[in-house]
Structure 1
Amino acid sequence: MIISNYIKLRITKALGTLVTVTVIFLCIFGCSKNDPSDSTQREQISNPTNNSPKEENINRDKLGIISKTKTAGWKKIDDPSEDGWETEFLANQANKQLKKLGNLFFNEGSLNDLVTSEIATDPLTPESLELIFKDKNITAHKGNRNVNQPNGGAQHLKKELNSVRQKRTGSDDDNHAKFKIIGIKKENGSAQKKFTTEVLFSLNFRTEKNVTEKHARWSVQWNGEQEKPKIDKIRILSFNQTSSSKSEKIFTDVTGSALDSNDSYKTQLSYGMNHWLTRLPVRAMLNRFGTPGISIGDVNGDGLEDIYLCQEPGLPNRLFIQRKNGTLMDVSAEWGVDWLEDSRSSIIADFDNDGDQDLAVAVYGMILIAENDQQKRFVPAMTLKTSWSTASLAAADYDKDGLLDLYVCAYVQEDNGESIGAANNQFVYHDAENGAPNLLFKNETTKSGKLSFTNTTEEVGLNINNQRWSFAASWEDFDNDGDQDLYVANDYGRNNLYRNDAGKFTDIAANTNTEDSASGMSVTWADYDRDGRMDLYVSNMFSAAGNRITGQQQFKSKTNDKIRDRFRRFARGNTLLRNIESSFVDKSISAGVNMGRWAWGSNFIDLNNDSLADLVVANGYLTSKEETGDL
């Protein structure tokens, strides 16, 4: 039995920064509700009255005094060309032009300011489409570029824009055209200023018949003045298109209908994280990420799955019992689990083997274990001391004694008042080993049912390579030898794959190509290729800017290629590792699953019941009040 539940809900991450989720529940920080009391308050600091020459030379920014001319100063500081990064300046200008082009898919306008008179472009949708998937809901095609097809000009591009504009229906929320510049190369020595960008293009729109989604990779050549470059050539490097069989969306957000009968939904859960950040007694780094976890299980034995939702400090945790009609009832207080402690994650599982589901919650500095009392309430039974910065939990019977053991992921070390993360001057961004230690607790519950856990981390060998910034872990028998192995996803560097040999663990990540050195934030297992071996998918971060910058010759030019590659890897995105028995092979790019944006959680799941493992990736950033639709 393997249990590993954790989720990050609309979270943010500082300076470049889950366990496998069983279900993705986006009710807490995903549903933003404007707070009528919110208002922008600015303190005005009066100018000093003393105008002596000495005080006139004082750096006012260092004093915290806001200058009236500060905006102009920051514009200069934020200009990449001021630092010698001309390619970033060009990318910014090109991005503005691409945004205007995207607007023309849905609104009429002129191409004159966007393209040259001699523009040559491939068809944005290739004429030759290869069917790669079809079921009752979705049809997917792959496009192949016809090298013998004559280039189209501005009129051809207008025709394609008009085609989408005429077909599309629905609101603006249903229609999007987005571009991400992931690479740029400047052409030196040309009479006109020319440069080429590699662009990821995504387009989705609703028609009366279906919803269409297109994804492509373009090579775009630019020509003209720096301030306003124009498109001279578009080449389609890859293309994929999916279409639904109906114009309705496949999934429907039922958060409100499932929860709105509860006062806790109206007064607590319906507000966004921005609302609570200004009101919570936050003290830990992870509080500012908005990372409380969630667990699923049948706590009252009625055959329906219930939900336990962790919360930030000062907000009560919530237990929702599922009714037969699918709605949820808040029983947090009645069941005694509306704790106000800083809660990071939880697991619902039968730890004492009495046939009902118990509860483990990772709170500030400890794990709280609560017994299920006659399927009517939870009773706190014991606490397990941990690092103060617990991140997630994963449970499995690693020693095959019939009892579920507990692995605890920890993130940052004890709070000592120093800067943390990449702000620490001792921090190694690409290979950090100053995180908090993870812990393994062996379940030694007695036959009479008295719960007991013992820290066996060092005894079983899990103390090796155990100072990482761990976000998630997941148990799986990857080598098919009958026991549970452990994969740990770490932020800021290399991950761990601990092989279980008769209850003793060895980190074999370096020897099996599974270190995946990046910003690991979740892990999920499945046999996606159906060869009998469990494969691995790790959520990291995709960054268009990171891809551009790390690909430039001037990026860390004095650093060796190995370190440069490490930094470049941080921007690539998610990782799919295929199990080939003795090792793993990286299939992320060829399978097309690396661009998961800023991915916080992922899960293999069969969405369409065809027995194949599909992928669901939760991504995004802390949501602003103004919905941008960008993440």
Structure 2
Amino acid sequence: MPLFASAIVLSFAACERGEIEAGRPGYAEPPHEGGPDAPPETGVHFAEIAAAAGIDIEHENGAFGEKWMPETLGSGAAFLDYDVDGAPDLLLVNSDWWPGHEGSGQRPAQRLYRNLGDGSFEDRTTAAGLGLSLYGMGAAVADYDGDGDPDIYLTAVGPNRLLRNDGGVFSDVTAQLAVAGDPPDGPPAWSTAAAWVDANLDGRLDLFVCNYVRWTPATDLFTTIDGTTKSYATPQQYAGESCRLYRNEGGGAPFTDISEEAGVRNSEGKSLGVAVTDFNGDGWPDLAVANDTQRNFLYRNDGDGTFTDIAVRAGVAFDEAGRARAGMGIDVADLGGDGQWAIVIGNFAHEPLALFTRIGKDLFQDRAGAARLSRPTLVPLTFGVVFADFNLDGVPDIVAANGHIEPGINAVRREQTFAQRPQLFLG
């Protein structure tokens, strides 16, 4: 099975409030760069073309000095052919100002860019009905109603939104379909990631939603990394919130929350990512969930739309020392094209990438070390991670999006910086 043996560090980095150029103080460098283990030239190169392509959004996290915890998470993005013209368009999720701390100018909103087919995009947000404001986190795209065009589910701090696509114009059907995501008790949910999945193979796409922790502005805690000034709070200080699974009843009827009966209700998790896979090849979709400072979940579909969490016995719940890591981004791929699935998870600083590779029935092994992923990913803090074949050799590669949550981290941890370079590992 191919391993991820060479790494390329991309040549740019961006943070929430500006940029730090490579080579300047405060920029995190991977441990091997410039040394004897520097990766060879591979012929894969990237160029930043956002401005030239007409992508002009600036993400807003609403920070006003109090360092509220949701400000640490950037928002997601999705490619979708919203107007069904054969060209992938781009949705960029945005967050918002905090109530009582509004900024000046136009209120932050989601942005939809239409692909013009010549390498450029035009902003179609307003025309498509997507100029809504919420403290957005992520997006899941699928044609849930089977009418031939992709719909959008947005996760957020507070109520989530389901936006139905009707010929390139979106309408909010969240209340109608009962998928806002708020728990029956406690504060509004902080949802992070979501995935559409036909859990019971009835031909209708169901909705799995990851939730994080029970946080509100009133419960934001004082935390400090320098002994004096406020820092961002961490998930260990808050109770987790269970993920949710909503069954699609079809015909425009409200979705049904089946989290309990489907076996996925578990407030132990503090979930930031989910990936859908059929890791055991039985034809039923399974779910891998990355949790922050808690063990990961691996929900095996029992063949009827209900699930059993086998993460502990499958070897994907903890690291090799039996410790829970701060899991964030997650993706799955068949590395060898032979059904031997792998799960990659991005973790916090000083916790390298996990590469859980299937070695037997319901059994995985973390092969990040053997794949030469551990050392170059030890220092960075990885939020997003994706499998893709970047060099078109037929083998999945890995890209990791890195960056710290604390702008002043370099003052107390010299090996850490706020802005960090993304990394690309070729399979």
What corresponds to 1:584 in structure 2?
364
What corresponds to 1:111 in structure 2?
none
Q: Partners of 1:487 and 1:476 in 2: how far apart?
A: 8
- Counterpart residue identity of residue 331, structure 2: T
Q: Partners of 2:152 and 2:274 in 1: how far apart?
A: 18
What corresponds to 2:105 in structure 1?
none
1:64-463 map, 5 Å: 200-203=31-34, 214=35, 216=36, 239-244=37-42, 250-259=45-54, 265=56, 269-270=57-58, 277-278=63-64, 285-286=69-70, 288-314=71-97, 315-375=108-168, 377-383=169-175, 384-387=179-182, 388-415=189-216, 417-419=218-220, 434-446=239-251, 450=252, 452-463=254-265
More helix by proportion, 1 or 2?
1
- Counterpart residue identity of residue 529, structure 1: G
Distance 1:27 1:385, change over 3 A: farther
Sequence identity (%): 25
Q: Would the aligned equivalents of 2:279 and 2:339 in 1 still touch at CA under 8 Å?
A: no
Give 1:430 shift.
10
What corresponds to 1:495 in structure 2?
296
For the pair 1:505 / 2:275, whether they are aligned, the reply is no
Q: Partners of 1:574 and 1:421 in 2: how far apart?
A: 29
Q: Partners of 1:172 and 1:371 in 2: how far apart?
A: 42
For the pair 1:541 / 2:327, whether they are aligned, the reply is no
- Structure 1 counterpart of 2:316, from 508, 511, 514: 514
Give 1:484 shift.
0.5
Provide, for residues 451-494 of structure 1, a one-character-per-residue CA deviation record: whole Å limited to 9, x for no partner. 5311100011111x433211111110011100101111000121
- Bigger radius of gyration: 1
Q: Partners of 1:533 and 1:617 in 2: how far apart?
A: 22
Q: Would the aligned equivalents of 1:433 and 1:467 in 2 still touch at CA under 8 Å?
A: no
SS at match of 2:289: strand
Q: Partners of 2:95 and 2:130 in 1: how far apart?
A: 14
Q: Partners of 1:352 and 1:498 in 2: how far apart?
A: 25
- Structure 2 counterpart of 1:618, from 387, 401, 405: 401
Q: Partners of 1:617 and 1:313 in 2: how far apart?
A: 26
Q: Partners of 1:420 and 1:393 in 2: how far apart?
A: 27
SS at match of 1:241: coil
Q: Partners of 2:222 and 2:279 in 1: how far apart?
A: 32
Give 1:243 shift.
2.1
Q: Would the aligned equivalents of 1:357 and 1:372 in 2 still touch at CA under 8 Å?
A: yes
- Structure 2 counterpart of 1:531, from 333, 338, 344: 338
The RMSD of aligned alpha carbons is: 3.5
- TM-score normalised by length of structure 1: 0.53
Q: Would the aligned equivalents of 2:29 and 2:420 in 1 still touch at CA under 8 Å?
A: no
Q: Partners of 2:115 and 2:259 in 1: how far apart?
A: 37
Q: Partners of 1:629 and 1:251 in 2: how far apart?
A: 18
Q: Would the aligned equivalents of 1:178 and 1:202 in 2 still touch at CA under 8 Å?
A: no
Give 1:289 shift.
1.0
What corresponds to 1:87 in structure 2?
none
Give 1:250 shift.
1.1
Structure 1: segments with no counterpart, 5+ residues: 1-23, 35-170, 181-199, 204-213, 217-238, 424-428, 544-571
Of structures 1 and 2, the one scoring higher in RCO (CA 8 A, sep 6+) is 2
Q: Would the aligned equivalents of 1:472 and 1:523 in 2 still touch at CA under 8 Å?
A: yes
Give 1:278 shift.
3.1
Give 1:348 shift.
2.2
SS at match of 1:242: coil
Q: Partners of 1:413 and 1:172 in 2: how far apart?
A: 37
Q: Would the aligned equivalents of 2:330 and 2:346 in 1 still touch at CA under 8 Å?
A: yes
Give 1:173 shift.
5.6
What corresponds to 1:32 in structure 2?
18
Q: Would the aligned equivalents of 1:296 and 1:306 in 2 still touch at CA under 8 Å?
A: yes
Provide, for residues 270-294 of structure 1, a one-character-per-residue CA deviation record: whole Å limited to 9, x for no partner. 4x768x5239xx99631x1142221
Q: Partners of 1:341 and 1:177 in 2: how far apart?
A: 31
- Counterpart residue identity of residue 192, structure 2: A
Q: Partners of 2:418 and 2:218 in 1: how far apart?
A: 36
Q: Partners of 2:159 and 2:248 in 1: how far apart?
A: 16
- Counterpart residue identity of residue 457, structure 1: S
Give 1:177 shift.
11
SS at match of 1:589: coil
Distance 1:402 1:259, change over 3 A: same
- Counterpart residue identity of residue 18, structure 2: S
Aligned residues: 365
